[in-house]
Structure 1
Protein backbone atom coordinates (compact mmCIF):
# COMPACT_ATOMS: atom_id res chain seq x y z
CA UNK A 1 0.00 0.00 0.00
CA UNK A 2 1.16 3.54 -0.67
CA UNK A 3 2.84 5.00 2.40
CA UNK A 4 1.53 8.53 2.69
CA UNK A 5 2.53 10.89 5.48
CA UNK A 6 -0.76 10.13 7.19
CA UNK A 7 -0.23 6.38 7.02
CA UNK A 8 3.28 6.72 8.47
CA UNK A 9 2.01 8.92 11.28
CA UNK A 10 -0.81 6.51 12.10
CA UNK A 11 1.64 3.60 12.08
CA UNK A 12 3.85 5.47 14.54
CA UNK A 13 0.86 6.30 16.75
CA UNK A 14 -0.13 2.63 16.87
CA UNK A 15 3.49 1.64 17.61
CA UNK A 16 3.63 4.19 20.41
CA UNK A 17 0.46 2.76 21.97
CA UNK A 18 1.78 -0.80 21.67
CA UNK A 19 5.10 0.16 23.25
CA UNK A 20 3.21 1.85 26.10
CA UNK A 21 1.22 -1.34 26.67
CA UNK A 22 4.50 -3.28 26.92
CA UNK A 23 5.85 -0.91 29.57
CA UNK A 24 2.57 -0.98 31.49
CA UNK A 25 2.58 -4.79 31.47
CA UNK A 26 6.16 -4.73 32.77
CA UNK A 27 5.10 -2.34 35.54
CA UNK A 28 2.23 -4.62 36.56
CA UNK A 29 4.47 -7.69 36.50
CA UNK A 30 6.86 -5.93 38.88
CA UNK A 31 4.23 -4.53 41.24
CA UNK A 32 5.69 -6.51 44.15
CA UNK A 33 9.37 -6.11 43.27
CA UNK A 34 11.17 -4.06 45.94
CA UNK A 35 12.76 -0.92 44.54
CA UNK A 36 11.11 -1.23 41.11
CA UNK A 37 10.31 2.15 39.58
CA UNK A 38 7.39 2.33 37.15
CA UNK A 39 8.10 3.71 33.69
CA UNK A 40 6.00 5.04 30.85
CA UNK A 41 6.48 6.67 27.47
CA UNK A 42 6.34 10.38 26.90
CA UNK A 43 3.14 11.32 25.11
CA UNK A 44 3.06 10.76 21.36
CA UNK A 45 3.09 14.52 20.74
CA UNK A 46 6.12 14.98 23.02
CA UNK A 47 7.85 12.09 21.26
CA UNK A 48 7.34 13.73 17.88
CA UNK A 49 8.68 17.03 19.22
CA UNK A 50 11.75 15.30 20.68
CA UNK A 51 12.44 13.58 17.36
CA UNK A 52 12.24 16.89 15.52
CA UNK A 53 9.18 15.97 13.46
CA UNK A 54 7.70 19.19 12.18
CA UNK A 55 4.50 19.91 10.35
CA UNK A 56 4.93 20.78 6.70
CA UNK A 57 2.85 21.36 3.60
CA UNK A 58 3.38 19.94 0.14
CA UNK A 59 1.72 22.85 -1.68
CA UNK A 60 1.21 26.48 -0.76
CA UNK A 61 -2.58 26.06 -0.57
CA UNK A 62 -2.52 23.15 1.86
CA UNK A 63 -3.18 23.44 5.53
CA UNK A 64 -0.29 22.23 7.69
CA UNK A 65 -0.22 18.44 7.87
CA UNK A 66 2.03 15.78 9.27
CA UNK A 67 4.97 15.45 6.99
CA UNK A 68 7.25 12.84 8.48
CA UNK A 69 7.06 9.78 10.60
CA UNK A 70 8.59 9.12 13.98
CA UNK A 71 10.89 6.22 14.59
CA UNK A 72 10.28 3.54 17.18
CA UNK A 73 12.61 5.38 19.56
CA UNK A 74 10.08 6.84 21.96
CA UNK A 75 11.34 8.48 25.13
CA UNK A 76 10.92 6.28 28.21
CA UNK A 77 10.24 8.28 31.35
CA UNK A 78 10.13 7.24 34.99
CA UNK A 79 6.86 7.81 36.78
CA UNK A 80 7.31 10.17 39.69
CA UNK A 81 4.55 8.82 41.89
CA UNK A 82 5.30 8.26 45.55
CA UNK A 83 6.60 4.81 46.37
CA UNK A 84 5.76 2.32 49.05
CA UNK A 85 8.13 1.66 51.98
CA UNK A 86 10.01 -0.93 49.89
CA UNK A 87 10.75 1.68 47.17
CA UNK A 88 8.30 0.32 44.60
CA UNK A 89 6.09 3.02 43.08
CA UNK A 90 3.74 0.85 40.98
CA UNK A 91 0.06 1.59 41.55
CA UNK A 92 -2.09 -1.14 40.01
CA UNK A 93 -5.06 1.25 39.77
CA UNK A 94 -2.93 3.78 37.90
CA UNK A 95 -1.51 1.09 35.62
CA UNK A 96 -5.00 -0.11 34.71
CA UNK A 97 -6.05 3.46 33.83
CA UNK A 98 -2.89 3.91 31.76
CA UNK A 99 -3.55 0.60 30.01
CA UNK A 100 -7.07 1.68 29.09
CA UNK A 101 -5.74 4.98 27.75
CA UNK A 102 -3.09 3.22 25.64
CA UNK A 103 -5.71 0.79 24.29
CA UNK A 104 -7.94 3.72 23.28
CA UNK A 105 -5.00 5.41 21.54
CA UNK A 106 -4.27 2.20 19.65
CA UNK A 107 -7.92 1.78 18.61
CA UNK A 108 -8.01 5.40 17.42
CA UNK A 109 -4.91 4.87 15.30
CA UNK A 110 -6.37 1.70 13.77
CA UNK A 111 -9.66 3.46 13.05
CA UNK A 112 -7.88 6.33 11.27
CA UNK A 113 -5.77 3.83 9.31
CA UNK A 114 -8.88 1.90 8.26
CA UNK A 115 -10.68 5.07 7.16
CA UNK A 116 -7.68 6.32 5.19
CA UNK A 117 -7.29 2.90 3.54
CA UNK A 118 -10.96 2.91 2.52
CA UNK A 119 -10.66 6.42 1.07
CA UNK A 120 -7.57 5.39 -0.88
CA UNK A 121 -9.33 2.28 -2.25
CA UNK A 122 -12.38 4.32 -3.26
CA UNK A 123 -10.21 6.90 -5.02
CA UNK A 124 -8.60 4.05 -6.99
CA UNK A 125 -12.01 2.72 -8.00
CA UNK A 126 -11.79 -0.38 -5.83
CA UNK A 127 -14.39 -1.52 -3.36
CA UNK A 128 -14.41 -4.11 -0.62
Structure 2
Protein backbone atom coordinates (compact mmCIF):
# COMPACT_ATOMS: atom_id res chain seq x y z
CA UNK A 1 0.00 0.00 0.00
CA UNK A 2 2.67 2.55 0.99
CA UNK A 3 5.01 1.66 -1.88
CA UNK A 4 2.58 3.33 -4.31
CA UNK A 5 2.93 6.71 -2.60
CA UNK A 6 5.68 8.67 -4.36
CA UNK A 7 6.85 10.48 -1.22
CA UNK A 8 7.31 7.20 0.64
CA UNK A 9 9.20 5.67 -2.31
CA UNK A 10 11.45 8.70 -2.48
CA UNK A 11 12.15 8.63 1.27
CA UNK A 12 13.00 4.93 1.10
CA UNK A 13 15.24 5.48 -1.94
CA UNK A 14 16.99 8.40 -0.22
CA UNK A 15 17.67 6.22 2.82
CA UNK A 16 19.01 3.41 0.63
CA UNK A 17 21.24 5.87 -1.23
CA UNK A 18 22.58 7.25 2.06
CA UNK A 19 23.31 3.70 3.22
CA UNK A 20 25.14 2.83 0.00
CA UNK A 21 27.17 6.04 0.07
CA UNK A 22 28.04 5.41 3.73
CA UNK A 23 29.52 2.04 2.75
CA UNK A 24 31.61 3.66 0.01
CA UNK A 25 32.88 6.40 2.35
CA UNK A 26 33.69 3.86 5.07
CA UNK A 27 35.59 1.72 2.54
CA UNK A 28 37.56 4.79 1.44
CA UNK A 29 38.46 5.66 5.03
CA UNK A 30 39.40 2.06 5.84
CA UNK A 31 41.80 2.00 2.89
CA UNK A 32 43.33 5.42 3.50
CA UNK A 33 46.80 3.86 3.94
CA UNK A 34 46.52 1.13 1.30
CA UNK A 35 49.06 1.72 -1.48
CA UNK A 36 47.44 2.25 -4.88
CA UNK A 37 43.86 2.51 -3.55
CA UNK A 38 41.65 4.90 -5.53
CA UNK A 39 38.90 6.75 -3.67
CA UNK A 40 35.38 6.12 -4.95
CA UNK A 41 32.06 7.89 -4.63
CA UNK A 42 28.48 7.15 -5.64
CA UNK A 43 26.35 9.08 -8.12
CA UNK A 44 24.21 11.85 -6.68
CA UNK A 45 20.78 10.89 -5.38
CA UNK A 46 19.02 12.97 -8.03
CA UNK A 47 20.81 11.17 -10.83
CA UNK A 48 20.33 7.70 -9.36
CA UNK A 49 16.65 8.28 -8.50
CA UNK A 50 15.90 9.70 -11.94
CA UNK A 51 17.59 6.76 -13.69
CA UNK A 52 15.70 4.25 -11.52
CA UNK A 53 12.33 5.47 -12.73
CA UNK A 54 10.96 2.92 -15.14
CA UNK A 55 7.78 4.60 -16.32
CA UNK A 56 8.17 7.91 -18.11
CA UNK A 57 5.54 10.60 -17.82
CA UNK A 58 2.76 10.24 -20.33
CA UNK A 59 1.40 13.08 -22.42
CA UNK A 60 -2.20 12.33 -23.33
CA UNK A 61 -2.77 15.65 -25.04
CA UNK A 62 -0.55 17.53 -27.49
CA UNK A 63 -0.69 20.57 -25.18
CA UNK A 64 0.80 18.64 -22.25
CA UNK A 65 4.44 19.19 -21.47
CA UNK A 66 6.81 16.25 -21.79
CA UNK A 67 9.47 15.35 -19.24
CA UNK A 68 12.19 18.02 -19.31
CA UNK A 69 15.67 16.91 -20.31
CA UNK A 70 17.56 19.15 -17.87
CA UNK A 71 20.03 17.83 -15.33
CA UNK A 72 20.98 19.26 -11.94
CA UNK A 73 24.36 20.87 -11.43
CA UNK A 74 26.74 18.34 -9.99
CA UNK A 75 29.70 19.09 -7.79
CA UNK A 76 33.01 18.73 -9.53
CA UNK A 77 35.69 16.77 -7.70
CA UNK A 78 39.36 16.60 -8.52
CA UNK A 79 40.38 13.21 -9.83
CA UNK A 80 44.11 12.83 -9.40
CA UNK A 81 45.12 16.07 -7.67
CA UNK A 82 45.61 14.64 -4.19
CA UNK A 83 47.38 11.38 -4.93
CA UNK A 84 50.03 10.47 -2.36
CA UNK A 85 53.44 9.09 -3.37
CA UNK A 86 52.23 5.52 -2.81
CA UNK A 87 49.36 6.02 -5.31
CA UNK A 88 46.56 6.37 -2.74
CA UNK A 89 43.97 9.05 -3.61
CA UNK A 90 41.97 9.06 -0.33
CA UNK A 91 41.74 12.42 1.44
CA UNK A 92 40.49 11.94 5.00
CA UNK A 93 39.23 15.53 5.17
CA UNK A 94 37.13 15.05 2.04
CA UNK A 95 35.83 11.70 3.29
CA UNK A 96 34.76 13.29 6.59
CA UNK A 97 32.85 15.95 4.64
CA UNK A 98 31.19 13.19 2.62
CA UNK A 99 30.29 11.41 5.88
CA UNK A 100 28.57 14.58 7.11
CA UNK A 101 26.64 14.78 3.82
CA UNK A 102 25.61 11.14 4.23
CA UNK A 103 24.32 11.82 7.74
CA UNK A 104 22.38 14.83 6.50
CA UNK A 105 20.84 12.74 3.69
CA UNK A 106 19.90 9.96 6.11
CA UNK A 107 18.34 12.44 8.55
CA UNK A 108 16.42 14.01 5.66
CA UNK A 109 15.02 10.64 4.59
CA UNK A 110 13.89 9.90 8.15
CA UNK A 111 12.30 13.35 8.42
CA UNK A 112 10.40 12.94 5.17
CA UNK A 113 9.24 9.46 6.16
CA UNK A 114 8.12 10.66 9.59
CA UNK A 115 6.26 13.63 8.12
CA UNK A 116 4.54 11.41 5.58
CA UNK A 117 3.40 9.04 8.33
CA UNK A 118 2.08 11.98 10.37
CA UNK A 119 0.23 13.25 7.32
CA UNK A 120 -1.35 9.83 6.72
CA UNK A 121 -2.33 9.50 10.39
CA UNK A 122 -3.95 12.93 10.29
CA UNK A 123 -5.80 12.12 7.06
CA UNK A 124 -7.42 9.01 8.58
CA UNK A 125 -8.41 10.92 11.70
CA UNK A 126 -5.79 9.85 14.20
CA UNK A 127 -3.57 12.26 16.05
CA UNK A 128 0.11 12.27 15.13
**TM-score interval (norm. to shorter):** 0.7 to 0.9
Partner in structure 2 of residue 65 of structure 1: none
How far apart are residue 50 of structure 1 and its match?
3.1
User: Contact 2:17–2:45 at 8 Å: present in 1 too?
Assistant: yes
How many residues align? The count is: 108
Deviations 1:65-108 (A, max 9, x none): xxxxxxxxxxxxxx724311111000000000000011101101
Partner in structure 2 of residue 7 of structure 1: 8
In 2 relative to 1, CA 93–11 (structure 1 residues): closer, same or farther, beyond 3 Å?
Answer: same
SS state at 2:98 partner: helix
- TM-score of the superposed pair, with normalisation by structure 1: 0.75
Partner in structure 1 of residue 84 of structure 2: 84
- TM-score of the superposed pair, with normalisation by structure 2: 0.75
Measure, in 1, the Cα distance between the counterparts of 2:12 and 2:125: 24
| Structure 1: 5+ residue stretches without partners | 58-78
| Structure 2: 5+ residue stretches without partners | 59-77
1:40 pairs with 2:46: no
In 2 relative to 1, CA 110–81 (structure 1 residues): closer, same or farther, beyond 3 Å?
Answer: farther
The structure with the larger Rg is 2
Partner in structure 1 of residue 25 of structure 2: 24
Greater share of strand residues, 1 or 2? 1
Partner in structure 2 of residue 49 of structure 1: 50
Deviations 1:29-77 (A, max 9, x none): 00000000111101001112333557748xxxxxxxxxxxxxxxxxxxx
SS state at 2:112 partner: helix
User: Contact 2:35–2:87 at 8 Å: present in 1 too?
Assistant: yes
The structure 1 segments of at least 4 consecutive aligned residues displaced by more than 2 Å after TM superposition are: 48-57
User: Contact 2:13–2:49 at 8 Å: present in 1 too?
Assistant: no
